Every structure is written in C-alpha cells, then in structure tokens.
C-alpha cells in the first residue's frame, strides 16, 4: 500500500491523494487549489500520471475536493468517478458554476488586458464538465463495494455537508481510512460523524488542528450581531458557501424569527447557486436530522434573488436587511457588489461564518486590513467585521482527537488538509495524547 499526496499537503485546498493498493490506483478526492495566487496557479500545472489512475472516489462535493476532475479527464484519466447520491447532484451544480465563473474571468481579463502575454483561457469549460459528469457513478453509503480484485470500499457519513463521507478501504492486507473533511461532533443539520471500527492507517484532515471552536451557541451569537446592526440601521451581509453554510444560517434565522428573538427584518438569499443547492439538500432529508416542516420553515419568508437585475435592485433599496450571498470567502460572486455599498459605511456589518483561507478577502478582513480591493478599486473597511466561529463545518482540535481516538487498531496517522502550524500542533497532540505514530503529508509525484 502506498500513498501519494498531490495536494492538500501543507495547505487546506487541492485535496488529491493517490492510494496504490493491490493492483489498483485510486485517487481519493480531486480538488482545486484555492486562495493565494501562487496556489491557484498550480491548477494550471500538468499532473503527470493522470492516465494511470484507475478510479476516483470523492468524499464530498466542495470544489477543493472535486474541482480538478475535468482537468484530470483532459490529461487522460479514463476511469469512473464514485460518490454518494447527494454529492453527485451537488457536483453538477458546483462544477458548472465554476466553469461559468472561469469563463467570465477569462473574458474580463481579455477585455481589460490583464493577461498581457497571451489570450486568457478559462481553466475548463462547460463541455468539459458535461464529459466529467457522465463518468460519475453513485455508491450507497454503509455498504461494501468491490473496487477491482481484492479491494473494497465503504462510505459512511462524516457530518461535514449533505452527502459527505469518510471512506474505508480494505484489501487482504490493509485497512485504510480517509476522513474527508470531518464535521463537528454535533452538527446543526446533519447527523454526527460515524466512526470506523478499526484501521491500520488513517488519512486525517487538520484544518483546525491547533484550535477549538468557541462554545457559544451560534444562534445566540447571530442574534447579537443582528440586533446591534439593526440598531444602527445597517445591513448585515453574510458571505456564504452555497453548500452547507447557507442552509445552516437560514435554519438559525428561522429559529430566531419564530422565537421572536429578532425583528422582522427582510432576509435575502442572493445566490442562484445557493438556491439550487438548498433545493437539493431539501431532497435529501434522510441525510440530515432536519424534519420536513423545519426545512419548509427555513425558506418561509426568505426572498430568493435569482437574476442579476433583481440583485441590483436589492442593492439600490439600501434598507436594513440580512443578505446572504456567495462566495463564502468573498473571493468572487454577488457578495462583492454588496461590499461596494456597505464596506465604507460603519452602520453595516460583514459577518464571516466559515473558514477563511489565507489570501482571500475574508481572511484580509478578519486580519483587520484597512482597505479591500473590489473589481479593481480600493474600498476602505469601515463596516463592522464580525465572525461566528461556532458555525464551522469542520471538527476542531478536540473533535479531531476524539474521532481519531475512537478508531480501534492503533492506526498510523497521515495528516493532510491543514496549514503547517495547525497540522504540526495536531501531530504533537496525537503523539502525546493518543500514542499513535504520525506522519505529515508531503507533496509527492506519481511514479
């Protein structure tokens, strides 16, 4: 058995791990690098050995775990892509959206002459996505599936987003687990992560390996931010990931409203993708602990903003409101136009509710950056910048240790998907508290 880390080694994005087991070469996740420009440029590099991969298994649909797939096909990958039923539906939405944004960026770069040396091209196009989606096959969770002679795989819920799983591979000689992005011990809408009974090796994410999330209840924190913004007559802008955070925030807002804890402020979901994703997650309630009537209540009273024109007219109104829009780390999307109106005005609040990777506007704001560049212009940051850490979709340090510690068989641990400080801090804790052998994922190449 051999592991090769082609991404998410020393960083949180670009998850791509190749497992050679038996005569099979299996890639677990196939993600894009995101965040800092030097990382994003790596998406354009060739991936030697792409044609030698037999199959890809996705732990979930987020682009940093799936967004490289069309490029893998372009470089000769000829196998099938396996995932759970909700992941397949979310994958279609996320990949098509990424291809559209990538085409828009290329058009803009060519129009404004950003790319001086040659014509800017999108990373991939809609046609590439369609070809990719034809390769996808769904696997039911909790059952063993044969992956070629002598290798079988089982997918089990891990509490991160709808359809997300960890993967257990068993061969005659080895049992290895890939955690995927591990969710919280008590997620808001999903069931808690299951635990693999035994393993010889575990590939574990370490996003929050050096930190614990605050214990405050997210709805209490959200209530406070809403009330103080409302008193100032301001708007509350919440950059959200279309998958996961949008639904969590809408659920909390519906609870606060029905309990009479917040005034009747208009709520807008200004993201066609988040609207589509919310529809998908409502179709898969069996993957969640949410009941149908709670799911209905989440969307009652939320104004869905589909077209760009409706989004413009929402901006012009300028009245107090709660606006959820993509993208979650403020790297693009409609939230940027709302920022133009709100950032320079201290009445308004920008509320960050998810992980903010280095180099993103979300991280710059958290770090107290006095101005932010939007659409080529600089805007002063005078609005309140707030954060709710307890809404994270990732397990924190204690939760990672708890999940790992419950796996039998004293597995060897490989830590990936974390910034170096987080990963190293978790390495020491695993060694000292659980007594397990730990290795840090290092970037490799396929032989």
Binding-site ranges for Zn ion (CB under 5 A): 62, 181
**What is the secondary structure of 326-386 as a DSSP string?**
S-TTSSSSTHHHHHHHHTT-TT-EEEE-S---TTSHHHHHHTT-SEEEETTEEEE--SEEE
Rg (Cα) of the chain, in Å, rounded? 22
Summarize the chain as % helix, strand, coil (round to 5). 35, 20, 45
Nearest residue (CB) to Zn ion, 87 versus 349: 87
Q: What is the DSSP letter of 198?
A: B
Nearest residue (CB) to Zn ion, 242 versus 381: 242
Residue 390, Cα to own-chain centre: how many angstroms? 16
CA torsion 73→180→165→146, rounded to 10°?
Answer: 60
> H-helix or E-strand containing 283?
helix 272-283
Nearest residue (CB) to Zn ion, 175 versus 394: 394
Quote the least distance from Cβ 367 to Zn ion, whole Å. 22
The CB-side HSE value for 315 (13 A sphere, CA atoms) comes to 17
The residue with tokens 């709710």 is: 388
Q: How far, in Å, CA of 404 to CA of 280, rounded? A: 31
Residue 295, Cα to own-chain centre: how many angstroms? 21
Nearest residue (CB) to Zn ion, 58 versus 322: 58
Q: How far, in Å, CA of 158 to CA of 167, rounded? A: 9
Nearest residue (CB) to Zn ion, 62 versus 338: 62
Q: Which residues contact 230 (CB under 8 A, 6 or more apart)?
A: 262, 263, 265, 320
Q: How far, in Å, CA of 133 to CA of 70, rounded? A: 9
Nearest residue (CB) to Zn ion, 225 versus 391: 391
Q: What are phi and psi of 379, to 5 degrees?
A: -125, 130
Quote the least distance from Cβ 207 to Zn ion, whole Å. 9
Quote the least distance from Cβ 62 to Zn ion, whole Å. 4
> H-helix or E-strand containing 90?
helix 85-112
Nearest residue (CB) to Zn ion, 181 versus 223: 181
Nearest residue (CB) to Zn ion, 61 versus 401: 61
Nearest residue (CB) to Zn ion, 62 versus 427: 62
Quote the least distance from Cβ 37 to Zn ion, whole Å. 21
> H-helix or E-strand containing 386?
strand 384-387
Quote the least distance from Cβ 417 to Zn ion, whole Å. 9
Q: Which among 337, 338, 326 has a CA at the least distance from the CA of 235? A: 338
Q: What are phi and psi of 51, to 5 degrees?
A: -75, -15
Q: Which residues contact 391 (CB under 8 A, 6 or more apart)?
A: 188, 218, 245, 248, 249, 252, 353, 354
Are the C-beta atoms of 271 and 326 separated by less than 8 Å? yes
Are the C-beta atoms of 349 and 386 separated by less than 8 Å? yes
Q: Are strands 236-239 and 201-205 parallel, antiparallel or unpaired?
A: unpaired
Quote the least distance from Cβ 356 to Zn ion, whole Å. 14
Nearest residue (CB) to Zn ion, 355 versus 414: 355
Nearest residue (CB) to Zn ion, 62 versus 361: 62
């Amino acid at each position: 058995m051999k592991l090769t880390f082609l991404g998410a080694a020393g960083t949180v994005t670009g998850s791509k791990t190749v497992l050679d087991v038996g005569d099979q070469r299996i890639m677990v996740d196939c993600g894009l690098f995101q965040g800092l420009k030097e990382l994003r440029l790596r998406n354009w590099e060739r991936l030697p050995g792409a044609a030698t991969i037999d199959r890809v298994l996705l732990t979930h649909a987020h682009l940093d775990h799936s967004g490289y797939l069309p490029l893998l096909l372009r470089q000769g990958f000829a196998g099938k892509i396996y995932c759970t039923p909700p992941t397949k539906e979310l994958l279609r939405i996320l990949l098509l959206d990424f291809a559209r944004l990538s085409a828009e960026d290329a058009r803009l770069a060519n129009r404004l002459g950003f790319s001086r040396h040659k014509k800017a091209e999108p990373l991939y196009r809609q046609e590439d996505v369609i070809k990719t989606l034809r390769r996808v096959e769904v696997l039911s969770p909790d059952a063993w599936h044969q992956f070629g002679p002598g290798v079988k795989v089982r997918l089990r819920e891990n509490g991160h987003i709808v359809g997300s799983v960890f993967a257990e591979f068993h061969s005659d000689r080895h049992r290895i687990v890939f955690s995927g992005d591990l969710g919280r011990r008590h997620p808001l809408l999903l069931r808690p992560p299951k635990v693999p009974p035994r393993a010889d090796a575990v590939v574990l994410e370490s996003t929050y390996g050096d930190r614990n999330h605050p214990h405050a209840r997210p709805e209490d924190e959200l209530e406070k931010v809403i009330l103080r913004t409302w008193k100032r007559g301001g708007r509350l802008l919440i950059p959200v990931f279309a998958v996961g955070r949008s639904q969590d925030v809408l659920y909390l807002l519906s609870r606060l409203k029905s309990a009479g804890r917040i005034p009747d402020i208009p709520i807008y979901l200004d993201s066609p993708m988040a609207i589509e994703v919310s529809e998908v997650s409502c179709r898969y309630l069996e993957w969640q602990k949410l009941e149908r009537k709670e799911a209905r209540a989440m969307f009652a009273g939320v104004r869905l903003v589909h077209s760009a024109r409706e989004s413009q007219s929402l901006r012009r109104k300028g009245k107090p409101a709660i606006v959820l829009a993509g993208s979650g780390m403020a790297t693009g999307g409609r939230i940027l136009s709302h920022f133009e109106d709100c950032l320079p005005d201290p009445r308004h609040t920008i509320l960050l509710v998810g992980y903010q990777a280095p180099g993103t506007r979300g991280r710059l704001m958290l770090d107290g950056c006095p101005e932010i560049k939007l659409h080529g212009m600089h805007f002063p940051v005078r609005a309140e910048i707030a954060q709710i850490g307890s809404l994270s979709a990732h397990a924190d340090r204690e939760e990672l240790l708890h999940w790992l510690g419950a796996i039998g068989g004293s597995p060897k641990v490989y830590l990936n998907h974390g910034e170096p400080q987080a990963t190293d801090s978790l390495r020491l804790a695993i060694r000292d508290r659980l007594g397990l052998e730990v290795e840090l994922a290092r970037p490799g190449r396929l032989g």
